[in-house]
Amino acid sequence: MEWPPGPYEYAMFALLAMTIPIQRFLTRDEVHMRVPLRGLLDEIRDKGYWWHIALYALMFIYKALIDHHNEPMKARVGGYTHWIHDIEGDWTLWVQETFYNDLLTDLLSAHYLFMYLFIIWFSPMYYILSRDEVMADKAALNYFVIYLLAVPLYLFFNIEVTSSFIPGMEAPLYHDDFTLAFFTSHDPMDNAVPSLHIGLPISLLILNRLHCRSLGIDIKDWRHREFDLFILVNIGIYAFSILYLGIHWVVDIIPGIILAIVCAAFCHAVQPIVRETALADWRNLLPDRQQTIFAAVSVVLFSGVLIFGAIDGPGADEDVPNYRLGPGDFIIDTVEVHSLSHPVSVEISNVGESIPDMTGPAPSCIIVKRSDVIYAFDRGQFKEGYDYYDLDDYSINANHYLVPGVTFEAQVETSSIFDKHLIICQSPEVVSELRITMHYVDDELMWSALLSSWPSFIIFGIAVEGLIYRSKQIEGDDIANVDS
C-alpha cells in the first residue's frame, strides 16, 4: 500500500524544521549577523530577494517540462549506458557488496532523499539569514544555472542507474514500498550523467573560494567557513552513497565536476550585474557583442552534435540493451501517463546472445498497475513471503518469457493521470540483456527539447568567452608589470 505521507512530505517537513537550528548552529560565533525570524520578510523586501523566490518557482516549472520530454524522446535517442559500463565495469557492485548492511542502507537512503533537497533550499536561506546578499544571490543562481547546463545531457545522453545495468546490483533506495511511488513519479532513472548530487555542492564550494579570492582573504578566515565545511562533509557522504545505493557510476562524477566549474565561473561573474542593475533594467543582463558571438557559435555547434549525432544515433541501436539482469535479479521501468486517450506502445526485446544449452527458463516480464504491487518490495528485494510470480495476479497482460531474439509488444492504456504502470522483469539463472522501448503519443518532442537545451549552450559559450578574455587580460597585466 502507498504511505501517506510519503518520502517527499517527510523530507520537506524535515527541511523546514531543520533550517533554523542548523543555521543558528553554524552562526553561533556571530549572533549579531543573524536575521531574526520576525524581520525575515523585511530582509527579503529590503535586499530584493523576491527574484530568488521567482527563480525557484521557475525551476519547478522548467524541471517538470524537462521531465515531460524525457521518456517520449527515448525511442529516438536511446541510451549509452553500455558505453559507460565498457569504461567502468562493475566497480560499484564491489562497493555495494563490500559495505552492505541494513543500517547503513537506511542511513544513506535517508541522507540521499533529504540532503540534496536541503542543500538546494538551505544554501540561499543560510546566506539570507546571515545577512550576506552577495552569496545568497550566487547560491540561488547556482541551482538554476547548473540544472540548465545539465539539460542536454539529461535529454539526449540517457544513462541508466547502475542497479538497472550491472548484474547483481541491487536498488535498495528505489525498490522499496516506502520510496517506490516517489521515485517512479519523479526520477527518470536514466539521468545518471551528470551527477548533480556531486556537481551542485561542488559548485557551491568553488563559488565560496572565488568569493573569498575577490575579498582578498583565505577561506579559513571567512565568516562562513563552517557552512563551507558542512557542504564539504556532505559531498564526501554523497560520493559514497550514490555508488553504494546502486544509483550513479563513478564516471558520472566527472561531468558533474566539469559543470560545477562552468556554473561557478558563470554565477560568480554574473552576480554583480544581477545585484546592481538587472533588477532595475533586465536589458543589462543581455550579452555584449563578443559574448553573443561565442554563445551563437556554441548553440550552432552543440545543436549540430545533437541533431546529427544523438537523434536516431548509436544510442538508438535496437540491438543494444538498456537493462541487464543477473541470475534472480529484477528491474522496474515506469510507463508514464502522457495521454488519457492514446495508449503507450511497449516493446521489450531480449537482445542477449542465444544460449543453446540454457537449462533454466528465459527472462520474464509483466506490466502491472503500481498501486497493486507497491507493497511487495523492501530495500531492493521482494519482501519475505513474496516473489516475482506473486505479481501475476495483478498483471494487465500474460507473463511473457523472452528467449534471445524474441520481442514482446503490449499496449498500456490509462484512465487517470495518477494511473502509473510498471514494467517488471526478472532474470532466471543466467545474465539477461533486455531493451525496453516505449512509444508515446507525443514522442516527436525533439525540437522543443533542442530549444530547451539552448540556455545550456548559451551559458557555456559565454563562460568560454569569459575564460579566454580573462586569460588575455591576465597576460596583458603580466606584460605591463614586466614593462614597469
pLDDT in tens, 257-313: 999 999 999 999 999 988 876 556 667 778 888 999 999 999 999 999 999 999 999
pLDDT at 41: 92
pLDDT tens-digit profile of 448-474? 999 999 999 999 999 999 888 765 554
Confidence (pLDDT) at 480: 43
Lowest mean pLDDT among 264-268, 395-399, 443-447, 479-483: 479-483
The pLDDT, as a whole number, for residue 457 is 97
Three-state secondary structure string covering the chain = CCCCCCHHHHHHHHHHHHHHHHHHHHCCCCHHHCCCHHHHHHHHHHCCCHHHHHHHHHHHHHHHHHHHHHHHHHHHHCCCHHHHHHHHCCHHHHHHHHHCCHHHHHHHHHHHHHHHHHHHHHHHHHHHHCCCHHHHHHHHHHHHHHHHHHHHHHHHCCECCHHHCCCCCCCCCCCCCCCHHHHHHHCCCCECCCCHHHHHHHHHHHHHHHHHHHHCCCHHHCCCHHHHHHHHHHHHHHHHHHHHCCCCCHHHHHHHHHHHHHHHHHHHHHHHHHHHHHCCCHHHHCCCHHHHHHHHHHHHHHHHHHHHHHCCCHHHCCCCCCEEECCCCEEEEEECCCCCCCCEEEEEEECCCCCCCCCCCCCEEEEEEHHHHHHHEECCEECCCCCHHHHHHHECCCCEECCCCCEEEEEECCCCCCCCEEEEEECCCCCEEEEEEEECCCCCCHHHHHHHHHHHHHHHHHHHHHHHHHHHHHHHHHHHHHHC
What is the model's pLDDT at position 155? Answer: 95
- Of 13-17, 239-243, 334-338, the range with the highest mean pLDDT is 239-243
Judge whether residue 476 has pLDDT over 70: no
Query: What's the whole-number average pLDDT of the chain?
Result: 89
More reliable by pLDDT, 48 or 234: 234
Using the predicted structure, report yes or no on whether residue 327 has a pLDDT greater than 50. yes
Mind listing the pLDDT tens digit for each residue in 37-90? 899 999 999 998 999 999 999 999 999 999 999 999 999 999 999 999 999 999
> Could you report the per-residue pLDDT of 117-144, keeping only the tens digit for each?
999 999 999 999 999 999 999 999 999 9
- Predicted pLDDT at 279: 58
- % of the chain residues with pLDDT over 70: 93
On the question of pLDDT at 479 being above 60, the answer is no
Q: For residue 401, what pLDDT band results from cuts at 50, 70 and 90? A: confident
Q: What digits encode the pLDDT tens for the residues 356-369?
A: 555 557 899 999 99
pLDDT at residue 278, rounded to an integer: 54
Whole-number pLDDT of residue 418: 78
Percent of the chain with pLDDT over 90: 69
User: What pLDDT score does 249 carry?
Assistant: 96
pLDDT of res. 470: 64
Q: Where in the chain is the domain with CATH 2.60.120?
A: 323-439
pTM of the model: 0.91
Q: What integer pLDDT is reported at residue 1 of this predicted model? A: 40
Q: What is the CATH number of domain 323-439?
A: 2.60.120
Per-residue pLDDT of 184-219, as tens digits, reads 888 888 998 999 999 999 999 999 999 999 999 999
Q: How confident is the model at residue 419 (pLDDT cuts 50, 70, 90)?
A: confident
Q: What is the pLDDT of residue 434?
A: 95
